[in-house]
Amino acid sequence: MTLDTVAGRFAYTEDHEAFRQTVRSFLAKEGVPHVDTWERERLVPKAFWQKAGEIGMLCPTAPEAYGGLGLDFGYNAIVDEEMAYAGVPAGFSLQSDIVAGYMETYGSEEQKAEWLPKMVSGDVITAIAMTEPGTGSDLQSIRTTAKKDGNHYVINGSKTYITNGQNTDLTLVVAKTDPDAQPAWKGMSIILVESDREGFSKGRKLDKIGQDAADTSELFFEDVRVPITNCLGEEGMGFVYLMSQLPQERLSIAVSVMASCQKAFDDTVAFVKERKAFKGVVFDFQNTKFVLADLKAKLQVGWAHLDWAIARHLKGELTNEEGAAAKLWHTDLQWEVMDKCLQLHGGAGYMNEYPIARMWRGARVSRIYGGTNEIMKEVIARKL
C-alpha cells in the first residue's frame, strides 16, 4: 500500500506528485530493504544520504545558484510523507526543513556557497544543537557560551538529544555570546561548528525507547575555536531566528506524523482482515469496524487540515500559533492511532517483529520534540 490510498489531496501540483513517484521508487529500492540493519546498528550510513542527494531529495528549496533545485516547501513535504510512510528513519527533515531554512535565510554569501551545495549532495550532514542536559523547551536558559577572543569565538558547553549528532559534519550551535544580556534572549547567537574543530567531540549514541536508527547523540564543546565569520546572521539574533523558523519546523513534524498515522491504519486494516478469530477474522467484529471507522474519519479530517496548513505555508501565511496547532493536533492524533492500531493487533502488536510495534514506540517522542505539546498550548493561548 502507498499514500495513494489518501483521496482528494489539494496541497500539491502535478509536478509535486511526479516528484513523489521518484522519491517512492528510491525509498523502495535504497531505503526499505535496509531499515532492519540500520535499526540494529542504530545509524543510517552516510552513503544513503549521498544517494538521496543524487536524485534531489535533500534540501530541494536550496537555490539553483547553490546546487539546489530552487523548489518550494511542498517538495520537502513530499519527502517527509514518503519517508514516514515507508518507515525510513534518516534525519532528512532536520537537514532540509530546518537547517537549510536557517542557512538560506540568514547565512552569509560565503556560508551559503560553502555549505548548501554539500548539504544538497549529501556530502555534508548537518545538525542543530539547542537542547542541553538541563534545558529543553526553555531556550533562554541555555548555558553553552561562545566568548570572543580576538577574531574567534571560544565555545564551551554540552548539548543532548541532538538529531544527526553522530553523522553531523556541521552543527548549528545555539550559544550565549552575551551571557549577561537582559532579557536573556538578546544574548543568544547561532554559531556554525565544523566537526573537525579541535575540542569538539561526539558522545554516545543515545539509547532511546524508539526510533532506534534515528541518529540522536550528545555533543561536547571544550574551548572550541571558530572564526567570528562562523556566526549565522547577526550576533545576538539567534533567538529571533529560531522563533521565526518554528512554523515550518512544526509543520514538518505534522507532515511526517500524519503519514505515519496513515501507514499504521493501512497496515492494521490489512492485518485484521487476515487474522483468524472465532471462525472468522478480527475485522468481522463490530468493535473492530467501529474503531477503524472512527480513525478513518479522523484521518480524513487530518489530511484536510494538513493540506490547508501546507497551502497556507506555501503562500507564506502560516503563523507561529497555526504551526503549533498543527504540531499539537497531529501528534495527539498519531498517538491515538498508534495505540488503537496496536490494540487491534492483539498480542502480535507487542512483538517487535510487527511494524506496528516499531511505529508505536517511535511515535511517543512526537509530542516531545519540536517543543512539547504543553508548550504548543502555551503558544496558541498567547493569541487567544
β 152-163/145-149 pair status:
antiparallel
Bond preceding residue 183 cis, omega within 30 of 0: yes
222 is catalytic: no
CB distance 350 to 315 below 8 Å: no
Cell of 133: 542536559
Q: What is the 3-state secondary structure (H, E, C) of the chain?
A: CCHHHCCCCCCCCHHHHHHHHHHHHHHHHHHHHHHHHHHHHCCCCHHHHHHHHHCCCCCCCCCHHHCCCCCCHHHHHHHHHHHHHHCCCCCHHHHHHHHHHHHHHHCCHHHHHHHHHHHHHCCCCEEEECCECCECCCHHHCCCEEEEECCEEEEEEEEEEEECCCCCCEEEEEEECCCCCCCHHHHEEEEEEECCCCCEEEEEECCCCCCCCCCEEEEEEEEEEEEHHHECCCCCCHHHHHHHCHHHHHHHHHHHHHHHHHHHHHHHHHHHCCCEECCEEHHHCHHHHHHHHHHHHHHHHHHHHHHHHHHHHHCCCCCHHHHHHHHHHHHHHHHHHHHHHHHHCHHHHHCCCCHHHHHHHHHHHHHCCCCCHHHHHHHHHCCC
CA angle 365/164/12 to nearest 5° reads 70
Cell of 37: 540493519
Q: How far is CA 238 from CA 242, 243, 251, 364, 371, in A?
A: 6, 9, 21, 29, 17
Cβ neighbour number for residue 88 with a 10 Å cutoff: 22
Catalytic residue among 110, 249, 317, 353: 249
Which residues are annotated as catalytic? 249
